[in-house]
Structures are given as C-alpha cells and as structure tokens.
Amino acid sequence: MDFDDLIRLLQALDFKEVGGRGSHRVFVRSGVAEILTLQEVHGQVKPYQVRQIAALIHQYNLDLEADS
C-alpha cells in the first residue's frame, strides 16, 4: 500500500502525527490506546503495519462517516 495513501486515511480517521525520525512517523488518536509507528520503505507501508491498522479500525469501530 502506498505510504501517503495510508497517512491520508489515518488523518481522515482523526489520527494526529506526534513525531518520528527519519522514515518513521508516529500517530495517536484520542480514545485509541495504541500508538502507531509507521515506517516508509520505497514509498510503501510494510504489510504488517497495514494489518495492524485494519485491526485497530475493527477493534475500535472507527468509521470515516461518523468521524468526519
């Protein structure tokens, strides 16, 4: 998955970027206990990170329509 596309999705879900260094970016969201640390590799997201975010969306019932 394209890294920039995933960043836009996280922002649409109200995640905020709070830091990072180099290729790493850190995101948090109110009401979500987990902190997301993403690493860009050649413009792509690592597959396990896509699965991690999908699991969080499911676990917390995150919804673009409700959160917009």
**Where does the pLDDT of residue 23 fall: very low under 50, low under 70, confident under 90, or very high at 90 and above?**
confident
Average confidence (pLDDT) over 16-42? 95
Question: Which of these, 32, 38, 40, lies nearest to 15 by C-alpha position?
Answer: 32
Question: Taking the C-alpha atoms of 5, 13, 61 and 24 in order, what is their torsion angle to the nearest 10 degrees?
Answer: 60
User: What are φ and ψ of residue 38, in 5° steps?
Assistant: -110, 145
**Where does the pLDDT of residue 66 fall: very low under 50, low under 70, confident under 90, or very high at 90 and above?**
low
- Please tell me the distance from the alpha carbon of residue 66 to that of residue 52, in angstroms, as a whole number: 21
Q: Which domain holds residue 28?
A: 3-67
- pLDDT > 90: percent of the chain: 88
Number of structural domains found in the chain: 1
Give the CATH number, domain containing residue 32: 3.30.920.30
